[in-house]
Amino acid sequence: MDAESIVSIEQQVAGLHRVAQVAVDPLAPEEALRRIAEEACLLTEASASAIAFLTESETKLRLVAVAGEDVQDLRGTVFRVENSLMENTVRRGENAIPFYPVHPDPVMESLLGGARLRGAAVVPIQCDQQMLGALAVLNKRNGSRFDSSDVRILQILASHIASLWRRRQLEQRTDRLRRELDVMYHAAQSIGSSLNLNEVLDTVVDEVAAHLPHAFAALFLLTDERTHLFIAAERGLEGEEREVMLAADEGLQAEVLRSGEPRLVNAADLEPGVEQFVPRLRILSALYAPVKSRTKTLGLLLVTSTSRNTYTEADLKLLNGVASQAGIAIENALLYEDAHRRAEEATSIYELSQSVNSSLELHSVLDLVADSVLRLLQVDKFALMLYDSNEGVLRTYVSRGVDPAYFDRLRPTKGQGIPGWVLEFQSPVYVLDVSADPRNAAVPLDREGVVSLACVPLQVGMEAMGVMLAMSSRRRLFTIAEMELLYTIANQAAVAIDNALRYEEERQKSEDLRQYFLRVARAIGSTVKQGEVPQLIANIAAEVLRADRAIYYTVEGHRIKPMAVSGSRMATLLDEEETSSMAWVVKTGRPLLVYQASSDVRFRDDPFVQREGMASCLAVPLGGKKPTSLLAVYTLQPRKFTRHDAELLSTVAELVLET
C-alpha cells in the first residue's frame, strides 16, 4: 500500500470522526447538516454535495444543506422527485453511481454553477425504515467516476444524518411534551383556581389564545335545550360576531359533540362541515375539542386560523387537554354557584319578602328591590320601569349605577327597545352584547356603559305593570339560574309595588275626599236657598272631576230633567224612553263611563253632546236602584274615567243631597 493511500485512509478516519462528533455536539440542525455535507465533499473528493429531505407530499424534495467550491446556495429549493438525480434512490431505496452521460438534472447543474454533471454518487437517508431523503455528491474533482468506496462513506454519513434526524425528532417530541406539560400545569392552576363561572370561561380562552396561533378562539356552551351553541367567551371576535349561535345538530360541531372526539382540519375550505360564521375571517384551519363534564358534554372549544396547515396533532392534543380541564372546572363552578346561590337566594328572598311586604311606602320598596338585585346577581347597574297607561310609556322609578336623568328621558313604548320588547311579550330576556342587539337602537342602553343585561317583566296576575333590568358594565353570561332568581325577585317586587301603589291611591283618595267634603261643607254652610243646591252639586262635580261641563238631572216619571249646568247654558229636556245615554243610566242603575262619545250608540241622539262637542262622559245614578236624580260630567278632550272617579262623584253628590 503506497503512502498516498495511507494518507487517504487516515483522512477518511479523521473525517468520519469529525462527522461522529457533529452527530453528538449540540449544534443547530442546519449547522450540523452543513458540516456533514462539507465532509462528504472532502471524503469523496467531490466538487459538490447536497442533502435533500422529502416533503410531506413525498412527491417533492427540499434541499436542506449544500457544500463545495463555487456552489450556488440553493438551500430551501423544492423540486420534484420525478426525473431527478435522486429519483431511484428515494423511490426504491437503492444506491446509485451514475456516470457520464448522466441524465440532465437542472437543480444539480444549478448547484454546480451551470457546469455539466459528469458523475455522481447517491445514497438514501433512512430511519426506522422510513425514507427521509437522499445524500448526493457530484463530479469528482479529478474527473474520475465515483466507486463503491465512496458509496460506503456516504452510507456512513447518511446513517449519521438519520441519527441527527432521530435526535431532532426526539428533542421536538420532548419539547412538545414539556410544553404540553407546562401548559397543562399552568392551565390547571389558573382554570381550577376559581369557582366563578365567568372567570373560569375567560381563563380557559386566555390559556388557549396564549399557546395556540389563532385568528379567533371561542368557547361555546350548549343552551339549556341543547339545540344550539352560544359563545360564552372568545378572543378575536367583534360586535355582532359574538352573538352568533351554531346549530348543535349540523356541521362539524355536531360530529364533535356526538362523538366526544376532537377534530383537526387543515384545509377547511375543502371541508363542508366547517361553518364559516365570521365573514371577515375565512377559516382555513381549525381545531375542535369537546368540553365535557363527568356526565355530559357541555360545549366545545374552537380555535381557527386563516391559513392552511396551521395546526398539528400535538396542537389538537394540547387543546383537548385544556378542554378536558375546562369541562371539570366549568362543572365545579356551576355546582358551587348553584349551591351558593340556593343558600343565598333562600335567605335573601325570605328577607326581601319580609321587608317589602312590611312596607307600603313605594320608594322604600323600590330601594329594597334594587339593592337585592345588585347583591344577588353581582351586577353594577339596575333600573326598574313602570308602565304609565295614560301616556302608554315606561317610566324609570329607581336606578343604580347609571345617570338617573338619562334613564328618566328614556320613555319606551310597548315593543320599543329591549325594555319595551319584554313588556309587550311579557317574556324575560338576557343579552350578552347590548350594543350588537338590534332592539337597542330604539332605546340605547349601551350609552350608559351597559354591556350585558337581563330583563324580566313585572307582573300582577296576567298584566305586566313594568320591567326590571339587571345590567353589567362588562360582558357576562346570565345563567338560567340567575334568570330564575331575577324572575322570583320580580314577582315579589310586583306584588309589593302593586300594594304600595294601591295604598298610595287609596291614601290620595282619602285626602281628596277630605278636601272635597270640607269644600262641600263650606259651600252648603253658605247656601241659604234650597233651589241653589242643584247648581252647587253641578259646580262641585265639575271642579272635583276637573271636567268641562257638569249637569245635575232629576228623574220625574218618564222625564229626565236637567236642573243645573256648570259652564254651559241649560241642556235640552231628555225623554227616558228615547235611546239616550241618560236613559240608559236610569234603566240600568249603573254608572256610565264613555271614552269616545262620538262612537257610542247611546249618545247618537244626545243633543247636548252633539251640540257642545263633548268627547267623554261619566254619569252616575243617585237615589238607589230606582234613581231619582243623575249627575254627569263631560270633557271636550278624550279622557279615561275610572271606577274611582265614579265613586267620588257619587259620594260628593250624595253628601250634598243628604245635607
Query: What digits encode the pLDDT tens for the residues 391-400?
Result: 899 999 999 9
- For residue 534, pLDDT over 90 is answered with no
Q: Are strands 616-622 and 592-594 parallel, antiparallel or unpaired?
A: antiparallel
- For residue 184, pLDDT over 70 is answered with no
User: Which carries the bigger pLDDT value, residue 61 or residue 12?
Assistant: 61
Query: Which pLDDT score is estimated for 5?
Result: 41
- For residue 177, pLDDT over 70 is answered with no
- For residue 575, pLDDT over 50 is answered with no
**Candidates 3.30.450.40, 2.102.10.10, 1.20.1070.10, 2.60.40.1180; correct CATH number of 530-658?**
3.30.450.40
Phi/psi at 521 (5° precision): -60, -45
Q: Which three cell numbers stand for residue 388?
A: 304609565
Report the alpha-carbon distance of residue 396 to residue 385 in Å, rounded: 4
Q: Which three cell numbers stand for residue 150?
A: 465512496
Sign of CA dihedral 72, 78, 84, 90: positive
Q: How many CB atoms lie within 10 A of CB 254?
A: 15
Report the alpha-carbon distance of residue 659 to residue 521 in Å, rounded: 9
Report the alpha-carbon distance of residue 203 to residue 232 in Å, rounded: 12
Phi/psi at 161 (5° precision): -60, -40
Q: Domain 192-337 belongs to what topology?
A: Beta-Lactamase (3.30.450)
Q: How many CB atoms lie within 10 A of CB 311?
A: 22
Contact 166, 140 (CB under 8 A): no
Confidence class of residue 6 from pLDDT cuts 50, 70 and 90?
very low
Residue range 95-113: mean pLDDT, rounded: 83
Report the alpha-carbon distance of residue 495 to residue 499 in Å, rounded: 6
Q: Range with the lowest mean pLDDT among 45-49, 152-156, 383-387, 527-531?
A: 527-531
Q: Residues 334-351: pLDDT tens digits?
A: 887 777 767 766 676 666
Q: What percent of the chain has pLDDT over 90?
A: 34
- For residue 657, pLDDT over 80 is answered with no
User: Which carries the bigger pLDDT value, residue 370 or residue 16?
Assistant: 370
Report the alpha-carbon distance of residue 132 to residue 128 in Å, rounded: 10
Confidence class of residue 605 from pLDDT cuts 50, 70 and 90?
confident
Q: How many CB atoms lie within 10 A of CB 412?
A: 24
Q: Domain 359-499 belongs to what topology?
A: Beta-Lactamase (3.30.450)
DSSP 276-319: ---TTS--SEEEEEEEE-SSSEEEEEEEEESSTT---HHHHHHH
Contact 297, 324 (CB under 8 A): no
Report the alpha-carbon distance of residue 357 to residue 54 in Å, rounded: 81
- For residue 510, pLDDT over 70 is answered with no
Report the alpha-carbon distance of residue 582 to residue 591 in Å, rounded: 10
Q: Are strands 629-635 and 616-622 parallel, antiparallel or unpaired?
A: antiparallel
In degrees, rounded to 5, the angle at the alpha carbon of residue 429 between the alpha carbons of residues 426 and 434 is 130
Confidence class of residue 529 from pLDDT cuts 50, 70 and 90?
low
Superfamily of domain 3-171: GAF domain (3.30.450.40)
Average predicted confidence (pLDDT) for the chain? 84
CATH 3.30.450.40 in the chain, residue ranges:
3-171, 192-337, 359-499, 530-658
Only one residue has cell 349601551, namely 446
Query: Which pLDDT score is estimated for 260?
Result: 93
Q: What percent of the chain has pLDDT over 70?
A: 86
- For residue 649, pLDDT over 90 is answered with no
Contact 524, 659 (CB under 8 A): yes
Q: Residues 70-100: pLDDT tens digits?
A: 888 888 999 999 989 898 899 999 899 988 6
- For residue 513, pLDDT over 70 is answered with no
